[in-house]
Structure 1
C-alpha cells in the first residue's frame, strides 16, 4: 500500500488566472465515471462532484484532469481516494500555501490551475502523476446561493472535462418551504445529439409541495453506439410568492430572510441609456446592442420615459422620449443610425448620464442609469480610481447604475461604480446570442415594484453587526433579497420590519412565515442557515474590501473574511485547502493566488511617462500630462524621448519640393510623409504643403485646400470592409461637431470637453509644427496661393513604387466600371476639406474641427493624428502635423519622428549659461543619445542643446524644449539626407 501511494505524487494549485491550458503538459486521463449530487435547501446549494480518472498507460504518467464550477461557488472540501485510502484537505492561510507552492515549483512538482472562463464559469485544471493502470477518485464539494433571476431560481452544474464521458449521473434534490409551482430542465449534457445518442435518461419528480427530485443518467451502451456526453445541466424552478415581508428560516443561532413579494403594481421608470459607440464596439457588438435596444424600447410601458446618450470621444444626448408608440419608434430609428467611431470617454459619459438623471423632475418615478460598454476608457480621464471618485462625488442622489459589459475582461471599474450606486454589473458569457443576453439583462430591472426598501431587525434579538444585506435598495419583479445574520445569545425569535415605497405610496410588510428549529447536529457543516450566512458575509466582506480606498480598512475586512472562511472551511482568495500526503506531499487548493495575479497584471502606473510606452501591447505614454509631438513651420519638430522630462526640438530644412519620411512602421504598415515648398518672397524659407498617410488599406493625401482619400486595390476593388458616410449624432456631413443638447448646460458641457488642453494637461505625442520664429531661426514654409513657386508636378500622384495604391498602374477600364458603385466612388475622393470629411473608411475616421484642424483617427485609441492648416502674415498657407495619441507604433518604427518611439536620451550636464554668436546669453545643456546605425546597432553620442520655446499651432500655446541645432545632427539616426524620399507616396 505504501509503495502504491508513493508512486502517486500530486501537487495541485487551484488558481484564478488567465493561464492557457496548453501550459499544463500531460496526457489526458480517462475519466471512467462522473457523479454529481446536489442538495438545494432553501436556495442554498451544496454540490459534490465525484470523478474517477484512470491511467490506461502501462507506466506511470502525468495526466491532465479538468472540471468546471459556477463562478460564484466556493470550494469547501476536497478528498482524494488513492488505492483505497482517502486523503482529506484542511484549510490554511494563503501565505503558508504559497510558500509550499513556490517550493514545489522549484522542485519541479506538478501543478493544477483554476482559470476563469467567463463571468459564469471557473475551471479546475490539474496535472497529476498517476501510477500505471491506477485510478484516482476526486470528491470535490462546492457551495453557492441559487439566485432568483427573472422570476426563476437557476441552478447549473458543469460537465467539462475537455471530452465526452461515457457514464454520467446527476441527482438534484430541492427542498423549499413553499410549494414548487414550476420547474424546467433548460439544458442537458449531450442534448445537441440526444436524438442520436442512446443511453440518456432524465426523470423529474415526484414533486410534492416543497420538494423535488431530478435525476439525469447517461451510460454508453456496450455495443459501441454511444458517444459520451459533456455540457451543462441547468434546471429552473420557482415557488409560491406572497405580497408580504417574506420568509424567515432560523436554525440554532443563525437565520436567513428571503424577501420576494409579487403582485404589486409597477412603478414608473425614467431610464438613462448610455450607449458606447466607440470603435471597439464595431465587431458585431453595436449591431447586437441596436437589435436588443429596439426590443427593449418597444417593451416599455406608456408611462415610462427614457433618454438616449451615445458616447465615444464625446457625449451626445440623442433625445428624450416617452413610452408612447410614436416616441418609441422615433427612439428606435435614432438608435439604428448610430455608428461605431472614435475613442471611449467613459468618465465624461457617466458624469453626463448622472446630470441627465438629476434633471428629470418626477419624484414618483425611479430614475436609473443603464450603461452598455466594453468598459475600456481610452479618452479623457482614463485612470480608474479617478473615474470612480468623480462618479461617486457626482452621484449624490444615488441613482442606481447598472452596467452591461461586453467581453469577459477584468472590468473592476464598472463593477465598483455599479456597487457604489446600489446597482450591479453583468458580463457577456458563452451560450446564447449577445442580443438575447442584453435583453435578459435589462429585463431584470425593467419592472420595479418598490424603491427605498428598508429591512430592520430588533437589536434585542439580532446582532446587528452580523447582518448581511443586499447591495441594492430598489426591488424589481422577479428578484429576491436574501439577508442573513446571527441572533444574540439566548434569543429565540426574529421579527423583521420591512418598509418600502410603492406606486401607491409607502408599504409596511408583515412577516408571518417564520420557521425555527434547533439544529439536528451541532456541527456547522449541516446547518444550512449558518453556511449560507458565512457564504454571504465572506463574499460581502471581500467585495467591500475590493472596493475600499483605505488600506487599513481593507486589511481589517480581509482579516474578518479570513477568520470566517477558516472557521467554515471555504476556499477564498485569502485561504487555501491543503491535502497532506505521506513523505510530505501536498495538494494545494486555492481559487486565487494574489501574489501571482499581481505579478502578471499591469499595475496602474504601468504606462510610464516615456517614449517606450508607444507600443502595440500597451497604452501610449501620451496618456500622461505631456504635449503631443509635432512638426510645423520651418519645419520645427518637437519630440519626446525616454529619459527626459522636457521635449527635444530641432529644425529640418529642406529645399523646394523636398519630400521627407516622418513615420514608417513595418509592423503596423503606417507611413507618414511630408513635402515642403519654398516661398516666392523668401526662397530659403520652406513650409509643409502636402502630407501623405498610409493607414492600413487607406491612403490619404492632404494639402491646405484639398484632400484625397484612396482605399482601392490594384484591381480597382474596395479594400476596406465598410464606408460610413454619416457620423450622426456626433458630426455633421462636413465632419464638424454638432452643438448638441436640449439645454444650455449640455451645450456648455460639450464645449468644455472639446476645448484644447493647457500645456500642463496636454497628452504626450509626436508631431510637426510650422511656426514663425525669431530672425535668428531659419524657417521652412509651404504656401498654396499664387506666391508659391515650383509646386511639384506629381502633387496628387502615386509613384509606381506603391504597389497597393498605384494610380497610374491601374487599368482605366476598371475605373469606368466603378462609376456605378457608390462605395467605390467614396473610396477614391478628391475634394476640399469640407467635402471630404465626416466619413469612416474601415477603421479610419476623418473629421474637421474649427475649420482648420483635420483629425484622422484609427480604431478605438490605436492612433490619433491631427493636421492643422494656417497662414503667415503674407497669406502663405502651410500645414502642421501632430500625433495626439497612439498605441499602435511598434519598436521598429523609424522616420524623423517615428524613431523616437524607442529612442532614449539622457541628460548629462545641468543647465549652464553661455554666450551665443549674437552675444546673447542662453541656457545650454548636454544630452547623451542612444542612436541606431544603418546596421541596426546602437551607439552613444553627445549633443549640446539650448533651452528654448516653440509655439504649437494646434494648442495655441508655447512649448518649452531643448533645441538641438544643425538639423538634429547627433540626435537623429544616420544623416539628415537619409530621410529624403523620391516621391510623396513612397
Structure 2
C-alpha cells in the first residue's frame, strides 16, 4: 500500500486526511480478538476496549472500529497500532485542535464531522487502511464515576463487534471497601444471559466474565445474528453501609467520601407538577404524560401535599393551593389528569412562576418541596426571552427548593432547561419519545420521591480543593460523593435536617502517604468529579467567574487526558502529519427544524443528515389553504338523508381518534388513495401499527407481526381484541371498535377505517363524529348546525366496504363537517 489513511469519528469527531480511500465491503476482514476489560474501584470504572483485526486479502482494505460508550464517561486514551507503529492520541485545548483542523482544511485536505447520540451511549468510530495480510490493533479507554440510583450502581457495556469473533471476552472486576450485598448481570432486554456468562462474588470483590463462543454469538435469541452480538451487558450492584457517617477512601494524598445514610425516616414532600399541554404535545406525548401522572399519583404517601398546573398560552391550576394526598383528593386529581388535552402555545414563564408561588405559600416545616416542569418546546407566548425567564425563576425560588426540568423529545432546547435547573439546585433530563416514555417519567419521579434530608452540608478539616459540599436534598437510594486533597488528618462532619430534627454524622481518617498503583484511581476520581462540576458551573456563571471555571476545567482535563466539551483528542501520524480530532459531543437537538449535533464551531463540509419534519405551526384563527392532492371522504348522515362527502388535503399525518378518558389514540398518514400507515396507542402498554405490508402489535410483553391475507388470526386480552381475516383487521380497544380494510387501486395498496363503535361523546379526531345531521335547502344549499354552505352533487367511493361501491353524495367544504379546525388534527 502506498499510504496508510486514518479517519476517526466520535460524534463531534473530525476526520482530516490527505488521501481518501474508498469504502469496500467487509469481506476478508476478520476481527480475531475483541476484549473489553473494566475495573471498578469504589464506584470509579476504567474500561478498555481492545480490537485486533486482520486483513486476509491480497490487497489493501479499509478496516473499521466502532464502539459505543456511556455519555457520562470521558475518553482518556486512544491508540492505533498498524504496521508495527503505534499512534497515540494527545488531548489538547479544543481551540488548539481547531487550529490544526483549519490548517488541514486550508491545505485542501478533506474534513468531515458526524454525530449520533442515543439515550445513554455515544458512538466512537475509527477507520484505517490496512495492507494486504496485515493487522491493526485499536485500543480505547474511557472512565466514569458510577452514579447510585434507586439503590443500585450500574455499569453498562455495549457489546457489538460487528461480526462473530473467535476470541471474544468481557471481564469486569469490582473492588469495594464495603461488603458487596447485591450483584446482577443482564442484557438490555432484561433477560439474563444463558451462556458464556459467569458471576463470582466474595465479601468485597466481584467478577463478571462473559466468554461466548463464535457459535453462541450467532445462535442466541433476540441479541444475536449473522453479524454477531448486538446488546448491552448491564451489571448492577450495591454495597452495605454499616456506618451512617459514610465511607472514606484515601490514598496518594487524595480522598473520596461516600455518604448514603439509611437510618432516617422519609420526609413528606410538597410537589408541584407544571405540565405543558400546548399543541406540540399532541399524540403519544400527552397520552404518556397522563399515564405517567396517574402512576405517580399512586405513589404519594398520605402526608404528602401536591399541586397540578397545566399550561399552554394560559395557565390552569387544578387547585389554587397544595392539597394533602388523601384518597378523595387523589381521585379528583386523576379525573383532572385524564382531561388534559393538547392545544395552544407555550407560556413557560407564567406557568413556572405560578408553581413557585404555590410552593412558597405552603408551609415548608418538616417537609421537602420540589418543583417539576415537563415541556416539549420553547416559550413562544408571554415572556419568550429565555434569559429573562431563567432570571425570573431563579429570583422567585431564591434557593429554597430544587427545580427539575424534563424535556420531552428533541424539539425542546435542553440547554435552556439545563441552565434553569442547575441555577436552582436541580437538573434537566431528556425524556425520549417512545413506548416507554411514561416509564422514564415515572422512573425520574421515583428518584426524587423519597427525600431523607434537606439542607445537607459536609464540612472537612485537613482537606483542600473539595468538590461540591452542599446539597439541597438527599434522596433514598442515591449517594452523596465528595472528593478532595488531604493536608492532614481528615475530619468530616455531615449535617442535615430530617423529618423530626437536625442530624449530624462525624468521621475521621489519617492522611495516607503511600501510593499504590491500583489506588491512583482516587486521584483520577477527584479529577473526574471536579471537571464534571466545573463544566456545570461554567454553564450558569458569567463574566470572569465563567472564564475562571472554564480555564480550570480545561487545565484539569489536559492533566488527566479527558476528552470533554472543552478539549479534543488529536492523533498526529508521524511523517505524513495526518490529523484526526476527537471531540466530546453535545447531545443532538433540533434547531430551526434541523438536527444540531455539535456546537464546536468547526467549519468544513459535514455528513448529510436528512432534515426532520418542520416544527408544528402555531395555532391560527383560521385554517391555511393547503395546496396538494386531496382524498375524498364519505360521512354518514342520520335518517334517510343522502351522505355527505368532502375532500381532505394530502399528504398529511392526521389525528383520527383520541379518547383522553381511556388513553386511546389513533393517527394515520394520508397519501395516494387512502392511508398508508396507521398507529394505535392504548393505555400506554398497547401499541398497534398497520401498514400496507404488515401489522405490528406490542402488548407490553409480546412483539408480534401479522401479514395481510394470512390465515385468519385472533388475539384477545381483557381490553383489546384483534381479528384478522384476509384484508380486514377488526380492532377493539376498550369501548372503541374500528375495522380497517386494505384496498388496491391502480396497483397500489392503501388502508381505510370504518368506525363501528364509539360510545363516548367526548371522542375527538377526524372520525370523532360517526354520523351527521343536516338540512337540505333549495339551490343546493346544505345547512349543518347554524351554518349554510353551498354543495355540489358528486360521487365518492365508499372504502368502508370491501366491495368499495361508488355512491352519490353532497360535496361540501371540509371546514363544514370536521369537528374543529383542520389544523387541530394535523400531526408532524
Given the two structures, how large is their TM-score scaled by the length of structure 1? 0.60
Residue 538 of structure 1 corresponds to which residue in structure 2? 531
Contact 2:275 2:375 in 1 (8 A): yes
Q: 2:211 aligns with which of 217, 231, 239?
A: 217
Q: Does 1:518 align with 2:525?
A: no
Contact 1:256 1:529 in 2 (8 A): yes
Q: 1:13-24, aligned counterparts within 5 Å?
A: 13-16=9-12
Displacement of 1:395 after TM fit? 1.6
User: How far apart are the structure 1 equivalents of 2:108 and 2:437?
Assistant: 43
Q: Give the match's secondary structure for 1:219.
A: coil
Q: Give the match's secondary structure for 1:149.
A: coil
Q: Does 1:177 align with 2:207?
A: no
Contact 1:12 1:587 in 2 (8 A): no
Contact 2:162 2:229 in 1 (8 A): no
Q: Does 1:412 align with 2:405?
A: no
Q: Give the match's secondary structure for 2:10.
A: coil
Q: 1:830 to 1:266 in 2, by over 3 A?
A: same
Q: 1:719 to 1:498 in 2, by over 3 A?
A: closer
Q: 2:496 aligns with which of 494, 500, 505?
A: 500
Contact 1:37 1:47 in 2 (8 A): yes
Contact 2:12 2:598 in 1 (8 A): no
User: How far apart are the structure 2 equivalents of 1:410 and 1:108?
Assistant: 35
Residue 585 of structure 1 corresponds to which residue in structure 2? 577
Contact 2:408 2:433 in 1 (8 A): no
Contact 1:11 1:109 in 2 (8 A): no
Q: Give the match's secondary structure for 2:420.
A: helix
Q: Which sections of structure 1, spanning at least 5 residues, go unmatched?
A: 605-614, 632-661, 670-693, 700-709, 728-791, 799-804, 816-825, 846-857, 863-986
Q: 1:233 to 1:578 in 2, by over 3 A?
A: same
Residue 558 of structure 2 corresponds to which residue in structure 1? 566
Displacement of 1:570 after TM fit? 1.2
Q: Does 1:456 align with 2:456?
A: no
Contact 2:185 2:234 in 1 (8 A): yes
Q: Does 1:437 align with 2:440?
A: yes
Deviations 1:553-593 (A, max 9, x none): 32222111111111111112222222332313345342248
Residue 398 of structure 2 corresponds to which residue in structure 1? 396
Residue 751 of structure 2 corresponds to which residue in structure 1? none
Residue 361 of structure 1 corresponds to which residue in structure 2? 363
Residue 721 of structure 1 corresponds to which residue in structure 2? 655
Q: Does 1:340 align with 2:342?
A: yes
Q: 1:336 to 1:99 in 2, by over 3 A?
A: same
Q: 1:627-646, aligned counterparts within 5 Å?
A: none
User: How far apart are the structure 1 equivalents of 2:21 and 2:336?
Assistant: 50
Residue 51 of structure 1 corresponds to which residue in structure 2? 51
Contact 2:459 2:469 in 1 (8 A): no
Residue 429 of structure 2 corresponds to which residue in structure 1? 426
Q: 1:248 to 1:224 in 2, by over 3 A?
A: closer
User: How far apart are the structure 2 equivalents of 1:508 and 1:266?
Assistant: 17
Residue 238 of structure 2 corresponds to which residue in structure 1? 238
Q: Does 1:482 align with 2:443?
A: no
Residue 808 of structure 1 corresponds to which residue in structure 2? 793
Contact 2:68 2:123 in 1 (8 A): yes
Q: Give the match's secondary structure for 1:399.
A: coil
User: How far apart are the structure 2 equivalents of 1:390 and 1:233?
Assistant: 44
> Per residue, is there more strand in 1 or in 2?
2
Deviations 1:394-416 (A, max 9, x none): 22253211222222565111111
Q: 1:644-659, aligned counterparts within 5 Å?
A: none
Displacement of 1:269 after TM fit? 0.5
Q: 1:56 to 1:844 in 2, by over 3 A?
A: farther
Q: Give the match's secondary structure for 1:138.
A: strand
Displacement of 1:603 after TM fit? 13
Q: 1:239 to 1:222 in 2, by over 3 A?
A: closer
User: How far apart are the structure 2 equivalents of 1:17 and 1:665?
Assistant: 42
User: How far apart are the structure 1 equivalents of 2:217 and 2:534?
Assistant: 54
Contact 2:280 2:377 in 1 (8 A): no
Contact 2:11 2:123 in 1 (8 A): no
Question: Which stretch shifts more, 137-146 or 276-285?
Answer: 276-285
Q: Does 1:372 align with 2:364?
A: no
Displacement of 1:148 after TM fit? 0.1
User: How far apart are the structure 1 equivalents of 2:46 and 2:110?
Assistant: 29
Q: 1:308-319, aligned counterparts within 5 Å?
A: 308-319=308-319
Q: Give the match's secondary structure for 1:343.
A: coil
Contact 1:398 1:422 in 2 (8 A): no
Residue 259 of structure 1 corresponds to which residue in structure 2? 259
User: How far apart are the structure 2 equivalents of 1:562 and 1:85?
Assistant: 30
Q: 1:563-962, aligned counterparts within 5 Å?
A: 563-592=555-584, 664=625, 666=627, 712-713=646-647, 720-722=654-656, 808-810=793-795, 843-844=823-824
Deviations 1:145-184 (A, max 9, x none): 0010000011111124556656531111111111000111
Matched positions, count: 658
Q: 1:133-152, aligned counterparts within 5 Å?
A: 133-152=133-152
User: How far apart are the structure 1 equivalents of 2:347 and 2:87?
Assistant: 54
RMSD of Structure 2 on Structure 1 (CA): 4.4
Q: Which has the larger radius of gyration?
A: 1
Q: 1:467 to 1:230 in 2, by over 3 A?
A: same
Displacement of 1:289 after TM fit? 1.8
Contact 2:10 2:584 in 1 (8 A): yes
Q: 1:235 to 1:91 in 2, by over 3 A?
A: same
Q: Give the match's secondary structure for 2:115.
A: strand
Residue 291 of structure 2 corresponds to which residue in structure 1? 291
Given the two structures, how large is their TM-score scaled by the length of structure 2? 0.70
Q: Does 1:156 align with 2:156?
A: yes
Q: Does 1:554 align with 2:546?
A: yes
Q: Give the match's secondary structure for 1:809.
A: strand
Q: 1:26 aligns with which of 18, 23, 27?
A: 23
Contact 1:354 1:399 in 2 (8 A): no
